[in-house]
Amino acid sequence: MPASPRYVGLAGHRHDRPPEAAVLLVNLGTPEAPTAAALRPFLAEFLSDPRVIEYPRWLWRAILHGVILRVRPRRSAHAYARIWTPAGSPLRTGSEALAKALGAELAQRRPGPLKVALAMRYGAPSVRDTVIRLQQEGVRRLLVLPLYPQYSATSTGSVLDAVADTIKALRWPPELRIVNDYHDLPGYIAALAASVEAHWALHGRGERLLLSFHGIPQRYVRAGDPYYCQCQATARLLAEKLGVLREQVLVSFQSRVGRERWLQPYTDATVKALPGEGVKSLDVLCPGFAVDCLETLEEIAMQNRAWFLTAGGERFHYIPALNDTPPHVRALAELALAHMQGWPEAAPGYDRAAAAARQIEAKRRAEALGDDLG
């Protein structure tokens, strides 16, 4: 007796429909609500990822389920509640706005049309569900663009795992390309510089510009993760683009958890120390976050602001993430088109009507041969 189908197929595939190409944006993810009940499954999925926590599984499962998931959901829910909007999670709504804007930008640049979809590494919409949906919609060529400018195994690497697991389950996987990182992309650096300059024009320039990146354990870097070097490269290129002395641009790392050493200097320690060193006005930018989220809106713009002012600082400004600003959208469009070179659907002269006509003719010839599948 035949076994149950092992792979997800395309039973309703239309042979007269021309193939399509798509860009899949992937962001970290967000709980469905700012409550402990919603945070518990989200954190369980996130913190169970071996890319994120590289501990022996038996040991980490005991810590995660025995301690962390009993305490952290309530604490995280309080933090999420501080930034939640009537429209929902800022990361979710901001990522959706970015995907929509990128789709409109690509439509202006190419006749395609090129689809743009959004998935979350943790939570919904999942990478698996989104890739399967795109395939059912006729997508045969897929560019995966994780919204992490700097590569880390904990972020981009985890997205690649999710994509690979999904592809393994498909009977007819699409042609696949993946953006590994874009930490030194000229358009990305220009977009960061434009956001800083616009902020300075409106609010004045702080004595220091602090670039706060998400942290990872130091041992991950010693094991070969390029994240630290790429963060430093972004900082150097941004300082050069702004035309400021490198000494005026500081780099730090935020969001550490646990007791082991993470990348340093730590953002909270830096922010607390600067007033004592004579720095009274501080601008903070988070170049590793494509869209504003808990780590930027609550951790930086609220917590770290309070620490800076309490320590004797007088002016603290958080410069928003690039979000769906036109320079950011243009940079991602250029990045996507560069990676899709050679795909017919991404070519400037692509003729969808002609492609459809070829598919219809191919179907007619196939039908003339008869159907022996029974």
Residue-level pLDDT at 35? 98
In the 8-state DSSP scheme, what is residue 1? -
Residue-level pLDDT at 374? 47
CA torsion angle 64 68 73 76 (round to 10): -120
User: What are the residues facing 209 on neighbouring strands?
Assistant: 249, 283
Alpha helices for the chain (secondary structure H): 36-47, 57-63, 69-83, 90-109, 127-136, 156-168, 186-203, 218-222, 227-242, 267-273, 294, 305-310, 326-339, 352-368
What are the pLDDT digits (tens) for 42-85? 999 999 999 999 999 999 999 999 999 999 999 999 999 999 99
Q: Which two tokens stand for residue 101?
A: 């804007």
What are the pLDDT digits (tens) for 81-140? 999 999 999 999 999 999 999 999 999 999 988 999 999 999 999 999 999 999 999 999
- By CB atoms closer than 10 A (0-12, 13-18, 19+), residue 346 is buried
> 7: pLDDT confidence band, cut at 50, 70 and 90?
confident
> 237: pLDDT confidence band, cut at 50, 70 and 90?
very high
| Length of the chain, in residues | 374
Closest CA to 249 of 204, 289, 293, 279: 279
Helix axes 127-136, 156-168, angle to 10 degrees: 50
Segment 19-40 mean pLDDT: 97
Residue-level pLDDT at 9? 80
Q: Which two tokens stand for residue 187?
A: 């358009």
Residue type, 308: F
> 11: pLDDT confidence band, cut at 50, 70 and 90?
low
Average pLDDT, the chain: 94
Residue-level pLDDT at 372? 55
Q: Which two tokens stand for residue 175?
A: 């042609």
Residue type, 364: R
> 17: pLDDT confidence band, cut at 50, 70 and 90?
confident
Closest CA to 139 of 102, 109, 105, 177: 177
